[in-house]
Amino acid sequence: MQHANSKRGLMTTAIHAGETPDPTTGASAPPLHMSSTFVTNQVAGFSAHDLEDDGNFLYARWGNPTVQMLEQKMAAIEGVEDCICLASGMAAATAIFLTFLSAGDHAVISDVSYAGVAELARDTLPRFGISISLVDMSDLAAVAAALRPNTKVVHTESPVNPIGRLTDLAAVSKLAHEAGALVSCDATFASPLGQKSAALGIDLIMHSVTKYVGGHGDAVGGAVAGCKALISQIRGESAIHHGGVMSPFNAWLVARGLSLLPMRMRAHQSGAQVISEWLEAQPQVIRVIYPGLKSHPQYDLAQNQMQNTSGMISFQVGDAATGRKIAQQMIDRLKIVHYAVSLGHHRSLIFWMETQGLMDSSFHLSGTQFESYRSYAGEGVFRMSVGLEDPEDLIRDLSGALS
Ligand SMILES: *Cc1c(COP(=O)(O)O)cnc(C)c1O
């Protein structure tokens, strides 16, 4: 299947992969199968271990046709064999850690990451006898030094939330593979269009599809894409036993969003480029981090590694008190941009993230790791997810809230 489709372009793949006209009704749009169980003509065992991977549907925790349609679309757009969709991005991160790590194993995890992932790694995994090293993944020597004989998973995130720092994915994959570890990458900020994660060596490509993939802010979900053997291990463990599966309705919504992802990402990127350049010229703004700006500390890596620099901008306005004041002005004055967490939607979103607060709640960094964070974030950043509105309207809206 994969080979037959591999010559198709990304727009065609996003629209057609995983779908065919319904054989009984001729419906051109994919059906929504809200069925938790499936009538079977086989006398089979009741355990997941009795099931074959490509067998018929039996029960929706094992697989559902609408969820499978999304999984096939995701796998095709990432250029890998298989994908599993789960109830949230956090369920996807948990699936990676709890499938491939056991008591006595070690994992190397990005020291800055989505806060939920950082807290899961730091607070939960050690309770199960898994040791972790939190490492600045932009520092390849630090990654190499952290690897141990029992390192089973290296988990990175690029660009990283909320500061837009990048990881050299090919270099980190090489180091991890030489040490015999699997590499996973949370590519939520990049979207599947931002970088060719599989070609760069990533074994497990993770997304919160709540963000760019769904793209409309109306469904929570997560995905892990990779080779058939690894994804079927996750399905056996995390879907069937941990149980955090995606609802067919959410899969249908997310697939509808994914169909237009290549077009949306082009618009997110061009809007974010215009807005980041405008922000750089504002007297109230002291620093803008966006991978498409020449001033990004890893601009060359962004040019080499990313096909689309996405729509996520971080910018600073000064000390924490100034940041808080401008955040309040945004809450009071913004008419188009929503002051809210989350990202990747057609609606623009913005949120203030104070450095000290994030350190206390999630990251707990010190020494050179803290200095690296501060070199991107100062005392705090506004994280803006540039939506698909007219950039001129967004600029007028931001302008009224900054002064
Ligand atoms: C939102 C997000 C997650 C968590 O996803 P949910 O769908 O909210 O569970 C993980 N990683 C990144 C980078 C995110 O932005």
Which pLDDT score, from 0 to 100, does residue 162 have?
Answer: 94
Rounded to whole angstroms, how far apart are CA atoms 331 and 72? 40
Which pLDDT score, from 0 to 100, does residue 96 have?
Answer: 98
Tell me, in angstroms, the distance from the centre of ligand 1 to residue 403's CA: 32
**Digit-coded pLDDT (tens) for 83-111:** 999 999 999 999 999 999 999 999 999 99
Tell me, in angstroms, the distance from the centre of ligand 1 to residue 244's CA: 15
Same domain for 356 and 332, yes or no, is yes
Same domain for 39 and 171, yes or no, is yes
Q: Which amino acid is at 16?
A: H
CATH number of the domain residue 164 falls in? 3.40.640.10
What is the DSSP secondary structure assignment for residue 235, as one 8-state letter?
Answer: I
Same domain for 55 and 71, yes or no, is yes
Same domain for 269 and 365, yes or no, is yes
Tell me, in angstroms, the distance from the centre of ligand 1 to residue 184's CA: 14
Same domain for 396 and 271, yes or no, is yes
Tell me, in angstroms, the distance from the centre of ligand 1 to residue 86's CA: 12
Rounded to whole angstroms, how far apart are CA atoms 310 and 269? 5
Which residue numbers in the chain have pLDDT < 70?
Answer: 1-6, 44-55
Same domain for 164 and 85, yes or no, is yes
Closest C-alpha residue for ligand 1 atom 2: 208
Same domain for 347 and 235, yes or no, is no
Same domain for 101 and 223, yes or no, is yes
Q: For residue 4, is it within any domain?
A: no
Closest C-alpha residue for ligand 1 atom 11: 114
Same domain for 204 and 277, yes or no, is no
From the CA of 221, give the closest atom in ligand 1. 7
What does the block give as tokens for 244?
């955090």
Which residue among 258, 274, 306 closes a domain?
258
Which residue among 208, 231, 258 closes a domain?
258
Q: For residue 161, is it within any domain?
A: yes
Same domain for 95 and 127, yes or no, is yes
Q: For residue 5, is it within any domain?
A: no
CATH number of the domain residue 384 falls in? 3.90.1150.10
Q: For residue 139, is it within any domain?
A: yes
Which pLDDT score, from 0 to 100, does residue 2 have?
Answer: 43
- Of 206, 199, 104, the closest CA to residue 158 belongs to 206
Rounded to whole angstroms, how far apart are CA atoms 359 and 174? 30
Same domain for 308 and 327, yes or no, is yes
Q: Which residue has the tokens 């009984």?
A: 24
Rounded to whole angstroms, how far apart are CA atoms 207 and 351? 21
User: Is the Cβ–Cβ distance between 271 and 388 less than 8 Å?
Assistant: yes
User: Is the Cβ–Cβ distance between 298 and 138 less than 8 Å?
Assistant: yes
The contacts of residue 342 (CB under 8 Å, 6+ apart) are: 210, 211, 217, 349, 385
From the CA of 91, give the closest atom in ligand 1. 9
Domain total in the chain: 2
The contacts of residue 281 (CB under 8 Å, 6+ apart) are: none
Tell me, in angstroms, the distance from the centre of ligand 1 to residue 193's CA: 17
Pocket test of ligand 1: the residue of 211, 212, 253, 343 to mutate, having most ligand atoms within 8 Å of its CB, is: 211
Same domain for 213 and 320, yes or no, is no
The boundaries of the domain holding residue 390 are: 261-402
Which residue among 242, 258, 274 closes a domain?
258
Ligand 1 is surrounded, with C-beta below 6 A, by: 88-90, 114, 116-117, 157, 161, 186, 188-189, 208, 210-211, 220, 222
Q: Which helix (H) or strand (E) holds 8?
A: none
The pTM assigned to this predicted structure is: 0.96
From the CA of 161, give the closest atom in ligand 1. 13
